[in-house]
Amino acid sequence: MAVKLENLSRSNSLPKWDNLSLEEQVAQMVVVRASGYLFDHQIQYPDWEPPAKQLQHWLQDLGVGGVIFVGGSAGEVAIRSQQLQNWAKVPLLIAADIEEGTGQRFSGATWFPPPMAIGAVAAEDEQQAQLYAAQMGAITAQEALAIGINWILAPVVDVNNNPQNPVINVRSFGETPAVVSQLATSFIQGAQQYPVLTTAKHFPGHGDTATDSHLKLPTLPHAISRLETVELPPFQDAIASGVDAVMTAHLLIPAWDKQYPATLSKQVLTQVLRSNLGFEGLIVTDALVMGAITNRYGAQEAPVMAVEAGADIVLMPSSPEGAIQAICEAVRTGRISQEQIQASVERIWQAKTKVFGGLESQSSILKNRVSSLTTPTPNLLLQLAQPSALTTVANILQDSQKIGGSVPLPPEPPNSDRQPCNLIVVDNAITCDFLGRNAPAVVLPRQLGYELQLIDGHTPAIAQDLCNSGLEQPTLLQLFIRCNPFRESIGLTPLAKNFLNKLLKKNNLQALVIYGSPYILEQLQPDLPPATPYVFSYGQTPEAQAIALKVLFAEATPVHTFTEFL
């Protein structure tokens, strides 16, 4: 019989883990992916997100211990998390990759700029940056709890000291161990005001790589002395700050293990992380469906190897049922000891006790959620996107902006007899949820008479035609470029540079706005004439667009034009 949350909230305790069978204990070590949308026909990644019937079977019959949500609005996820908790045998850990706030994944909640924006603030004011990081942690935790998420898969504590890194990049707080440690620990301390779990990732450090581990296995070739002075200190400080979990990296680190990636290496997880660093919390793998693992190891073997190496939780195995069976078989044959499984389940129980037991406020939240699958109580959703949270977002965006050239633009654009062009270059317009028809990057230039031209990586022929025959008028060039998973490069740099060079050659570049990666600005900036206006923002959201364009068009546009966006 499933252990219902209303019973849990009354007793403030979990059932005894040792009452579970071996299969049920191992199932607690598995976290599966689930769509945050309410209906099967809304599932966006059917290879990874099971339909409701299969998900219910995993939770209700197998006793899987947790889920990771992707997609959906904050309101939908509040209902969805309640639904899944009611299906579960044992209360679930519900996780999400919300490194930039709850709104990064679930619309309606607060979406922060990427962590590197706070790192940029730290270069000018360390104290202010630490305050921002703590506020970000607290707001993220509060909003996560409001919609049923109790496990934050953040902060990223990788030191991004490789500008060509296609997978970490702006997800890191910075390029030095000191900055990353300061801001990551501030984030953790902010989140600790609420009963949620935090996660330091990706151990032992994914910052100095130029390969996306979603696709291939990167190698970190450094000596142990370098690893101990650059990669490990942020993890050590996160552990000292009480971080609840550490997520592994799919990296080969020959200095420690020439054969297996960190996720599958006993030397890295058990010796370095557990023994050397003294970490006593949860060790969770990065997603086992990622190419760095799936391309080399089987669907059943990878979870076994991860547990054998010292992982407590296997995240997104290709086959949850197969993973459970394979791990149980490894126990029965003596490959993995029963004691190791029990130690992992004990750690999971300690984590679940933290998020479900002992706090009246959390008990109240649980009681509200389990009453029925009705619309979540308004009091919970009113905790989302509060004015104070949005003010913090705006302050980070403003404080981290980079501005150059003759800013703001004059009231009348040069060569005003020709209609100016608003050329927007984006990675992928199809999946770009921050560039709708009402986005400031579209609307504000239009109000000033600019003609819109939108180009992305799927329109190479149009881009080439535009370069060959167009760009004959004054042009505002807006680039939305940052690292994204499952892509070999860090952005559309050749395409963007082609447009930039063509506009400069024709003397028609009126201004440049870059949203996303500071490394793109570094690459393009040497080509800009000193007087050319430019604005760089770490954010890509409508708020980031409005703040950047307010700087650029301050004298050309009435202030009231921006109020609906700020």
**The token pair that represents 549 in the structure block:** 């364009």
433: which residues sit within 8 A by CB, 6+ positions away? 107
Please give the structure tokens belonging to residue 35: 């769509």
Specify burial of residue 417 (Cβ count, 10 A radius: 0-12, 13-18, 19+). Answer: exposed
Q: What's the one-letter identity of residue 230?
A: V
Q: In this structure, what token pair is assigned to residue 102?
A: 């709850």
Cβ–Cβ under 8 Å, residues 136 and 392: yes
226/499 Cα distance (integer angstroms): 40
In this structure, the number of other CB atoms found within 10 A of the CB of residue 157 comes to 35
Q: Do 80 and 378 touch, CB atoms closer than 8 A?
A: no
Please give the Cα distance from 220 to 223 (Å, whole number).
Answer: 9
Alpha carbon separation from 275 to 42, 197, 313 (Å, rounded):
45, 22, 18
The active-site residue out of 286, 312, 427, 456 is 286
Name the packing angle between helices 542-552 and 440-447 (round to 10°).
30
Q: In what order do the strands lie in the sheet with 509-516?
A: 402-404, 534-537, 509-516, 475-481, 421-426, 451-456
Q: How far apart are CA 420 and CA 207, in angstroms?
A: 41
Name the helix (H) or strand (E) containing 395. helix 387-400
Q: What is the DSSP string of 253-291?
A: -TTT-SSS-GGG-HIIIIIIIIIIS---SEEEPSPTTSH
Count of other CB atoms within 10 angstroms of residue 336: 19
Cβ atoms of 148 and 78 closer than 8 Å? yes
Distance CA 28, CA 341 (A): 10
Residue 329 and residue 549: Cα distance in Å, rounded? 60
Cα-Cα-Cα-Cα torsion 522, 525, 531, 536, nearest 10 degrees, comes to -50
Question: Residue type for 109, please?
Answer: A
**Residue 106: CA count within 13 A, CB half-sphere:** 34
Residue 79 identity: I
Residue 72, classed as helix, strand or coil, is coil
DSSP class of residue 197? B
Q: Respond yes or no: is residue 214 known to be catalytic.
A: yes
Instruction: Collect all residues with Cβ–Cβ distance below 8 Å to 92 and sequence separation of at least 6.
Output: 59, 65, 66, 67, 84, 85
Please give the C-alpha separations between residue 406 and each of 497, 509, 546, in angstroms, as whole numbers.
21, 13, 19
**Beta carbons of 503 and 478 less than 8 angstroms apart:** no
Are β-strands 475-481 and 421-426 bridged in parallel, bridged antiparallel, or unpaired?
Answer: parallel
Amino acid at 91: P
For residue 233, count other CB atoms closer than 10 A to its CB. 18
Question: Is 458 noted as a catalytic residue in this protein?
Answer: no
Active-site residue numbers? 214, 286
